[in-house]
Amino acid sequence: DAGITQSPRHKVTETGTPVTLRCHQTENHRYMYWYRQDPGHGLRLIHYSYGVKDTDKGEVSDGYSVSRSKTEDFLLTLESATSSQTSVYFCAISPAAEETQYFGPGTRLLVL
């Protein structure tokens, strides 16, 4: 498996609270991604990064922000969590934009 870890792996939080998810890689890949996976929707891209401090929005970016201060870490923040953000969140990495993406184990988030 590619060296990708996500933390926490499970989290329960309340509506309106801030939440930060962390993705850490040891592969030195340039690109990092955050996806959410929901029944009936497949995986959808939230944000991605193409280098330190370089990020861009994906298909479902509203309500989320990201930061990448080091090559190995990509943080996803829900500024004020809502029940619609209950989902499984996956981090992925790739050496280049069009190459195979390698996925982390996922974070299961429940917003009550």
Residue 23 tokens, joined:
């993705």
CA–CA separation, 81 and 84 (whole Å): 8
Which part of the chain contacts other proteins (CB under 8 A), choosing from 11-19, 21-29, 72-80, 98-106?
98-106
By CB under 8 A, is residue 95 in contact with other proteins? no
Query: Which CB, 43 or 75, lies closer to other proteins?
Result: 43
C-alpha angle with apex 35: 31 to 37, nearest 5 degrees?
155
Q: Interface residues with other proteins (CB under 8 A)?
A: 1, 4, 31, 33, 40-45, 48, 50, 56-59, 90, 92, 94, 97-106
